[in-house]
Amino acid sequence: DTGVSQDPRHKITKRGQNVTFRCDPISEHNRLYWYRQTLGQGPEFLTYFQNEAQLEKSRLLSDRFSAERPKGSFSTLEIQRTEQGDSAMYLCASSLVRGINTEAFFGQGTRLTVV
Amino acid sequence: AQSVTQLDSHVSVSEGTPVLLRCNYSSSYSPSLFWYVQHPNKGLQLLLKYTSAATLVKGINGFEAEFKKSETSFHLTKPSAHMSDAAEYFCVVSRGNNNDMRFGAGTRLTVKP
């Protein structure tokens, strides 16, 4: 257990529905990241927060995706009008940024299946 | 732009023999490089990291990696494989401070008894 919690662990939804995932990072960590991992591929960067500010978003993050970290603690990732191509593992990671010697700790992920 | 290429999608070794997982990187910056391991149904775990200090980096569970700038490589090695090493391994490059970590496609390591 890395200390990063994700909820739910699994989600099955019908195409067109909205889904929301939650990530609770390690408590003192100021940076939080979202990644997406499809079968047979490495994780792909989606977005990251420094405290409550969303500093970078990948082009993979379409308009149907939105992420928040309202108080600089937990984060949510919402997907609106889900599509079958959204089926993937969504990973959250957190780190405490001090200089360059940092380590990102990953949660176990939320596996989304869109049917 | 930065990216990594893991040269083997699958590596199979016998228990007790050396492990070599190959990774080449491309980066416009002085990169930070990492190796992560992913066991089935478990989160990604950091094995080791290079951040412009010593070029030979020692990690957990007996793994090592050597940063070779001239070859743009960061290969992962272990002298003697153990059954518990069977997992998916990811080479990762970032600009430092974990900004925008770019993962390779992964190498699945199989260890035969």
pLDDT of the residue at B99: 64
Helix (H, G, I), strand (E, B) or coil at B31: coil
Give pLDDT tens digits along chain A (115 positions).
778 999 999 999 999 999 999 999 999 899 999 999 998 889 999 999 999 999 888 888 889 999 999 988 999 999 999 999 999 999 999 988 776 657 889 999 999 999 9
Asked whether the beta carbons of B99 and B93 are under 8 A apart, the reply is no
Residue A71, judged by CB atoms within 10 A of its CB (0-12, 13-18, 19+), counts as exposed
Indicate yes or no: CB of B43 within 8 angstroms of CB of A2.
yes
Nearest-CA distance A18 → chain B (Å): 25
What confidence category does residue B98 fall into, taking pLDDT thresholds of 50, 70 and 90? low
Rounded percentage of chain B residues whose pLDDT exceeds 70: 96
Nearest-CA distance A43 → chain B (Å): 6
Give the pair of three-digit tokens for residue B96. Answer: 């430092």
> What integer best gives the mean pLDDT of chain B?
91
Using CB atoms, pick whichever of B32, B42, B90 lies closest to residue A108. Answer: B42
Q: Is the pLDDT of residue B104 over 70?
A: yes
Bridge partner list, A65 = A79
- Provide DSSP, B48-59: EEESSS-SEEE-
pLDDT of the residue at B96: 62
- CA separation for the pair B16, A69 (Å, rounded): 46
